[in-house]
Amino acid sequence: MQPPPLSKDCAAAVIARFLKARGVDRVFGLCGGHIMPIWMSLDAEGIAIVDVRDERAAVYMAHAYGELSGRPGIALVTAGPGLTNAITGIANAHVARAPVFILSGATPRPQVNRGALQDLGHTGMLRDITRLARTVRSAAQVPQALDEAMATAYGEAGGEPGPVFLDFPTDVLRDEVPRAVQLGEHRRPRLAADIPAEPGAVERAVALIRQAQRPLVIGGRGARAAPTELLAFLEATGALFLDTGECKGVVAEEHPSMVTAMRGAVMGDVDLVITVGRKLDFQLGYGSPAVFGSARWIRIADNAAELRDNRRGEVELFATPRQALRALVEAGCGQGGAVDRAWQTRLRATHVERSSKLQASMASAAQGADGYMHPNRLLHEVQRAIGNDPILVADGGDFLSFARVGMRCRAYLDPGALGCIGVGTAFGIGAALASPGSTVAVLTGDGSFGFNAMEIDTAARHGVPLLVVVANNGAWQIEVHDQTNTHGKVVGTRLQRADHAAMARAFGAHGERVEDVSDLPAALQRALTAMRAGRPALLDVLVSGEPMSSDAKSGLAWVPDLQPLAAWDEAERRWRAGSTD
């Protein structure tokens, strides 16, 4: 039996019209019976559907697309395993505070709890990793539920932004939504929340900034939306700047405030820290006095989670970051300042020296004893080919650490604080679709690439021009020692150095394997030519497994923006115990 045709006022059609009115131009998803009414309605409204090979990748793509396009990032997944497959992507968006909107279907209401196909309680699984998770059981509630979910995803009224989830029983999707509740106010295009800074708080912050001799700004998610205001603030105050994975590329490496190569030294030597939309998580030592000494704090954020976590600010500016930074400059935060120019000059000069040495060492990095090229040499050649203004996605364990430190870009994405390796190709597809005309490069280790390698097929089918560079060292061995073996035998094996380029070619992408560094420049140019023709390109580059990044040497690979956390933990233990040592 064929289901009855969808009416123009059914819930699925109302969902599609809502998304179109809110500026949605594409949805990422994988088809399934429970969501077919939405799928068909999206197509009828002219909203593009990027069909993927795994639901987790759909959420990753929506995440990257939303972050870089300014449009809502929408993932559409079916019930049961469709939703459970998506959970890792949803958890990653939750930790990253990315406003992703996930839609799903559910078992028809008369069949709930009767053993129906894919009958799971989705919302119970998602409440801890979403800002809102709800099953909409009445067609009349659909417009209001969509409006509320979108507002919640963007953190309107001061809530933390992040993923939201709505699912709809399949019979609800076919039910009529009464015309009386299809109000224009629910479809009205969203205006970005703009929270002004409270004048009294601005005045107190200006006083602190004028007193500071060694001020430091740490950028986060909030800095991405305020590049002009951030640069004006740095120029006015003379503060130094540390970027993080959440805002890499917003401030250029050449900017006189940038001291990222001096991260550990500057954090331990400041007297004022100003955070811009950045949580004080493990990547920043939780803001502990064991790391930042007796520094005073100004916190700037448009939500409480980025304003008051771990360390309270002496001044807390609850405002849209661009509004707060603009207000501080207009209030004269740079007038009569006490910045220690010798301190500023010394740190900046050492940063430049270290950065220059790193770039020189990358260009001349010798191959390993195993005969394969150094990962840094690979990155040097990639940077030379794509320039300093690409959109970069870094993924993997040690290779991510090399890329995070050594590469330059104007926008950057990586697994973030969840350490969710495997995002690379899917993030790259979302980024490339969000930024047509831009060079998008995915830099990934071979182990991480394997998580979502099949999405090369998605890129090829949809003609997404991105560059995927796989650093193939086969190093996926976890050393587990057999306790019954007196010789401490290592249990486990290495990955094969599989031919990922052959797989890419099988899907219709441009693919090449590169084994010698002398062949790499020409291979990169061929890959870029393929991208200009609208094809994805993958280079499978054999690299040495011997080099270790600074993160790996400290036992902290797979995690961005690292410092030696074990040392911090010990320092904090002594501090809490009252030791002055």
Look at the chain and count its residues: 581
For 418-460, the three-class secondary structure string (H helix, E strand, C coil) is HCCCCCHHHHHHHHHHHCCCCCEEEEEEHHHHHHHCCHHHHHH
40 and 12 Cβ atoms separated by less than 8 Å: yes
Query: What is the C-alpha separation between 214 and 135, in angstroms, rounded?
Result: 51
C-alpha 207, offset from chain centre? 35
415 and 560 Cβ atoms separated by less than 8 Å: yes
Residue 316 CB neighbours (<10 A): 19
* Tokens representing residue 173 in the block: 């999707």
How are beta strands 240-242 and 296-301 bridged, if at all? unpaired
Rounded alpha-carbon distances, angstroms, from residue 55 to 58, 94, 311, 421 = 5, 16, 37, 16
* Tokens representing residue 425 in the block: 């190709």
Q: Which helix (H) or strand (E) holds 60?
A: helix 55-69
How are beta strands 26-29 and 48-51 bridged, if at all? parallel
* HSE-up (13 A, CA, CB side) for residue 302: 23
Closest among 164, 18, 17 to 101, alpha carbons compared: 164
Query: What is the C-alpha separation between 11 and 142, in angstroms, rounded?
Result: 7
Closest among 158, 139, 132, 150 to 189, alpha carbons compared: 150
Complete DSSP assignment for 291-331: HHTT-EEEEEESSGGGTSSSS--SEEEES-HHHHHHHHHHT
H helix intervals, 507-564: 520-532, 550-553
- Residues marked as catalytic: 479
Phi, psi of 318 (to 5 degrees): -85, 95
* Tokens representing residue 214 in the block: 């060694």
The sheet that has 467-472: what strands, in order across it?
411-413, 391-395, 440-445, 467-472, 537-542, 510-514
393 and 431 Cβ atoms separated by less than 8 Å: yes
Question: What are the residues whose beta carbons fall under 8 Å from the beta carbon of 315, sequence distance 6 or more?
Answer: 201, 204, 205, 208, 297, 298, 299
Query: What is the C-alpha separation between 159 and 450, in angstroms, rounded?
Result: 36
